[in-house]
Amino acid sequence: MAALLPVHALAGMRVGVSVSQSADLDRLGLREAHLRLALGELTRSVVVAGGGLVYGGRLAPDSYTAFMAAELHRYARRDRPLLVCVAWHEHRQLSLGDLDRFRDELGLLGRLVCLDVDGREVPGDADRGADPVSVDDPAIRRRALTGLRRHMSAQQQGRVLIGGRRTGYQGAIPGLMEEALFALHARQPIYLAGGFGGVTADIARLLGAGDADWLPRPGPPPDSPGYAQGVRLVREAGGPGWDNGLTAQENGWLAVTHRPGEIAALVSLGLGRLNTRAR
């Protein structure tokens, strides 16, 4: 399906990763563990090819952030290939001891960046003591999430989307939709691994990424102004002819597969082609 990439094919490239649980997993016969397998294989493929990763999320022991860091321990690179960006309310609700502990665990595997409410890098101990500080205002949390996504977009050369919540999100629109929007507005390639359903499959339909109708529609769209707004914005931003280095057929494969090896191979192939073209 995909040609082997030369060594260091992704050198100089940093790939943003958007991953979130999907309500479609059960009816697809999948579990959250399958999603983690795909994330682990993608991490391996990008790092082995010389690329880096950008992720913004929680720092809990069972989080995707911790999972990606654990995967990196299996490979030899120690040049900080993982950039972990943490939104204002997320790092404020942790003690300084917990933040320092996670930095120590990352070590040479990655760098931890704390952000203010508008997505600017700040010291983790700015305007606070050692104890956690709760940020309960929903408006501040929404603003901080948008700031996080804006910051990540400036650090990446492309973005991969997997799964995604249609409901229960904290931002103004579903998180994966907002992350796709920042990439599209910046003319960055996006890779829609739609085989786990969720918002990623919705975006694949909106942008015509292959035949996404293999997944039975989940019924009426969520009765949410945020979801409807996200759909409209993605449709407007996508337009025809968005280029991620993959052919229409390859994007069609990516839009339907949940196989970790296929997802990693297709994403790496598209990025590798773009990197070669840029050189």
Is 37 a domain residue? yes
Q: Is residue 8 part of a domain?
A: no
Domain that holds residue 82: 14-278
- CATH code where residue 29 lies: 3.40.50.450
Residue 41: inside a domain: yes
Residue 4 covered by a domain: no
Note the pLDDT tens digit of each residue in 207-240: 888 665 666 565 556 778 888 999 889 988 876 5
Q: Is the pLDDT of residue 4 over 70?
A: no
Confidence band, pLDDT 50/70/90 cuts, at residue 35: very high
Number of domains in the chain: 1
User: pLDDT digit string (tens) for 92-128?
Assistant: 999 999 999 999 988 889 999 999 999 999 999 998 9
Residue 152 lies in a domain: yes
Token output for 109: 């595997």
Q: Decide if 113 contacts 144 (C-beta within 8 A).
A: no
The angle formed by the CA atoms of residues 53, 35 and 88, to the nearest 5 degrees, is 50
- Whether residue 71 is predicted with pLDDT greater than 80 in this model: the reply is yes
pLDDT value of residue 2? 47
Average the pLDDT over each of 25-34, 76-85, 143-152, 246-255 and give the range with the smallest value. 76-85
Assigned domain for 119 exists: yes
Query: Is residue 91 within 8 Å of residue 124, measured between CB atoms?
Result: yes
Is 9 within a domain? no
Whole-model pTM over 0.75: yes
Tokens encoding 30: 């999948």
Burial of 65 (C-beta count, 10 Å sphere; 0-12/13-18/19+): buried
Task: Answer whether residue 7 is part of any domain.
Answer: no
Q: What's the confidence (pLDDT) of residue 122?
A: 97
